[in-house]
Amino acid sequence: MQTVKFLKSVMDKCLFGINIVILTLLVVDVSWQVLSRYVAQSPSTFTDEAARFLMVWMSFLGGAYLFGNNGHLSVTSLRDMMPANAKKTVVAFTYALIVLFAVFVMIYGSQRLIGRTMGQPSPSLGIPMGVFYSILPISAVCIIYYMILNIIELFLGNGSANEDKKEGA
């Protein structure tokens, strides 16, 4: 069980650190955009697109982080009325559905999009759009990683990984 907690904490720290860097870049980017437009009277051409890219990447990586910490919004009233074994089964089934979504939609579904747009540069930055869209499979791998650890924790731990987080809140 300690291994699962350690593996989760490593991924938590990585995603949290990456999001801090992205947020810092976003603040610098938007500040530069405002300064160049209103102070220097010469608007920067790349800042709007960079801010959009950074925000999308931060959203997907932050979403993956929330999956790992069971921080996403959920309606649990029906599940909470179930007996402990049924509750565990429902939570495990939910985690399995999340993994299936991540695999089929976020990884498999995005591969064609990424492949088609690798040769298409973004308007201002000139970065291939496939690089921008590559956040889909990257965040999906993080989500799958967390869901596998959550399932292990659910069946090897003292209860639901979902319940542990909710009780502390």
Q: Find out whether 59 and 23 touch, Cβ atoms under 8 Å.
A: no
**Using one digit for the tens of pLDDT, what is the confidence trace for 14-49?**
999 999 999 999 999 999 999 888 888 888 888 889
pLDDT value at position 169? Answer: 39
Per residue in 60-107, pLDDT (tens digit) is 999 999 998 888 877 788 888 888 888 889 999 999 999 999 999 999
How much is the mean pLDDT over the chain?
88
Predicted confidence at residue 166, as pLDDT, reads: 46
Q: Are 87 and 165 in contact (CB under 8 A)?
A: no
Rounded distance between C-alpha atoms, residue 83 and residue 61, angstroms? 34
- How does pLDDT run across 133-163, given as a tens digit for each residue? 999 999 999 999 999 999 999 988 765 444 4
Binning the chain into helix, strand and coil, the percentages to the nearest 5 are: 80, 0, 20
pTM: 0.85
Look up tokens 């979403």; give the residue: 63
Percent of the chain with pLDDT over 90: 63
Please give the Cα distance from 95 to 147 (Å, whole number).
6
